[in-house]
Amino acid sequence: MNNSVFLAEMTHKEYSEKVAGDNPVVFIPVGAIEQHGYHMSMNVDVILPSAVAEGVAKQVNGIVAPPVVYGYKSQQRSGGGNFYPGTTSLDGSTLVAVIKDILRELLRHGVRKFCLVVGHFENYAFTVEAIDLFLREARMLGVDDARVMAFSYWEFCDDPDVLKALYPGEQESWAAEHGGVFETSMMLYLRPELVNMEAAVLHSSARFPVYDMFPAHKDWTPEPGTLSCPAGSSAEKGKMILDDCVAGITEVVKKEFA
């Protein structure tokens, strides 16, 4: 028997039996291919929510569906901007359609409990729109027992000791987190081979006006694309973040899908 929590690693027989027998929560990571500075790979927003989803799924006997790899367009004040080479984005309507179609297919398989783990800030509103359209469609098909949870995984990193370790005396870095200590530490713990700290650029946290310009003023974003400095990142901090997020998410998933 395959003990993997990943849908794609199961046979269709193993998957269908688990769905029919356990009524599991199915987790869908919703990420992006987006630059994360000179020191990290561009799949950070896929790796991190997938790892969180895996950790929670193991606690609640859930299943992790393949992630949505591409996300909505990187915005300058949250992701550095959509003008960096390699950042590969979808139109909002495309992202909504992809998420909705995945949810509908899982519903067809018999899944009724869904959890969307957002790993890219810009994806959230489109994720919510997809859920709304999906539930409307499900009701039209006569299915009224589908339930969906959605969240950005980093919202569950709220242990004061973890935050103090991440940002000692510099809480403003949290607002400018993109390729900084938070994400870099998680990557050092989960995929250290995709991090090169020697290439990390040390700089002050980005400061943006309270409005956006289109086309963007590229010089508003620090040159490497990171919005806060990754100095002080460590695998130990990454484990603290992951453990904190998994614990908090596991608690609410058990509560809402009991």
Q: Is the peptide bond before 224 cis (omega within 30 degrees of 0)?
A: no
> Catalytic residue at 217?
no
Q: Yes or no: say if 227 and 178 are a contact pair by the CB < 8 Å rule.
A: yes
Residue 173 has pLDDT above 60, yes or no: no
39, 54, 120, 177: the active-site residue = 120
36, 39, 54, 244: the active-site residue = 36
pTM of the model: 0.96
39, 177, 178, 244: the active-site residue = 178
What is the Cα–Cα distance from 96 to 1, expressed in whole angstroms?
A: 35
- The stretch 208-231 carries a mean pLDDT of 95
**pLDDT-above-70 percentage for the chain:** 97
Q: In the chain, what are the domain boundaries?
A: 7-256
Residue 70 has pLDDT above 90, yes or no: yes
Quick one: pLDDT at residue 46? 98
Could you report the per-residue pLDDT of 133-165, keeping only the tens digit for each?
999 999 999 999 999 999 999 999 999 999 989
Quick one: pLDDT at residue 140? 95
> Catalytic residue at 109?
no
7-256 carries CATH number 3.40.50.970: no
The answer for residues whose C-beta is within 8 angstroms of residue 29's C-beta and 6 or more apart is: 46, 49, 50, 52, 53, 64, 65, 67, 68, 117, 119
Q: Yes or no: say if 238 and 185 are a contact pair by the CB < 8 Å rule.
A: yes
**pLDDT-above-90 percentage for the chain:** 91
- 1 pLDDT band, cuts 50/70/90, is low
Quick one: pLDDT at residue 169? 73
What is the Cα–Cα distance from 92 to 73, expressed in whole angstroms?
A: 8
> Catalytic residue at 12?
no
